[in-house]
Amino acid sequence: MMSSENRSDFSASCSSISEEARAKINLALHVTGQRPDGYHLLDMLVTFTDHGDRLDFMRSPTDEFTLSGRFGETLAGDGGTNLVLKARDLLREAIGPLAFPVRIQLEKNLPVASGIGGGSADAAATLRGLMRLWGTSLPEEALAALALKLGADVPMCLASRPLIARGIGEKIEPVPELPVLAMVLANPLKGVSTPEVFRQLATKNNPALSLPPSRPLAADWLAAIAAARNDLEPPARELVPEIAVISAMLRAHGALLTRMSGSGATCFGIFATMAAAEDAAAALHDARPDWYFQATETVSGGE
């Protein structure tokens, strides 16, 4: 057994690696069908924000996992079901002896189970961070297959760039021309069951996502996003009426467009400028300090 003094010296001698786990925003989500195995077929326009969770990785005598951040306590009883630990274990199994013990610190800044891919983004960041720490990599196809084992959203979170995802989320097409968008993320911090949202969905064979072939200007993108939809929003509003309330609040504070992300309950409002988004987030927080409001920018498709 290593003494606490030696353990501290061991950890202090190792540099840490950090990874951002960016929030995933479904600008559009069309449910286009359902497979025989029950999985729904989706067309999604997805982007990612500067705001998200943060993971730090450090060599350690034994595996450790710690939590911090506003929503860290929510995951405190998660144990071995946490996607970060599942990602660590699957990657270690794939890599083998090079995968030495590691201390992982998750700063949980995003609401849990809120439709913005927090757990999936954490898992993807774990894969990226541990490959760097362990000084190894996997072939692209093997990494994609491993990510998909962790969840349908993990492959797109691994990319963390604007994209269109189809199928159950595994068919990914980059969208480098998508511009940076100023937005406010808003969540009433009330849970919504994803399986129940899908069960309440009236139609499961809806028109596919269709975007104009040329979208060079930000205004054109805003119109294209407005013409799309989130098919999960109507049933989610029935289950959690606060979604409609929070969307109305975003519009009242100047959002050019509002929509729910994923299966909810997080909504987003797109604003003309980052300053307008920050002002709106501050005013909304003053109005409902018990809810979650965060001004942020999305990443550029050209990064």
- pLDDT for 11 beyond 50: no
Mean pLDDT for the stretch of residues 1-11: 38
Residue of 53, 122, 153, 231 marked active site: 153
Q: Would you state the pLDDT for residue 93?
A: 97
Alpha-carbon distance of 51 to 153, in angstroms, equals 18
- pLDDT for 41 beyond 80: yes
Q: Would you state the pLDDT for residue 79?
A: 52
- pLDDT for 217 beyond 80: no
- pLDDT for 277 beyond 90: yes
Q: Which two tokens stand for residue 295?
A: 């001004």
The residue type found at 102 is: V
Active site residue 9: no
Residue of 24, 43, 108, 122 marked active site: 24
Active site residue 153: yes
**8 A C-beta contact, residue 297 and residue 179:** no
The residue type found at 229 is: R
- Provide the angle, in degrees to the nearest 10, between the axes of the packed helices 274-287 and 242-252: 130
- pLDDT for 246 beyond 90: yes
pLDDT digits (tens, 9 = 90+) for 174-212: 999 999 999 999 999 998 999 999 999 989 999 999 988
pLDDT digits (tens, 9 = 90+) for 89-146: 999 999 999 999 999 999 999 999 899 999 999 999 999 999 999 999 999 999 999 9
**8 A C-beta contact, residue 45 and residue 257:** no
- pLDDT for 76 beyond 60: yes
Q: Would you state the pLDDT for residue 6?
A: 39
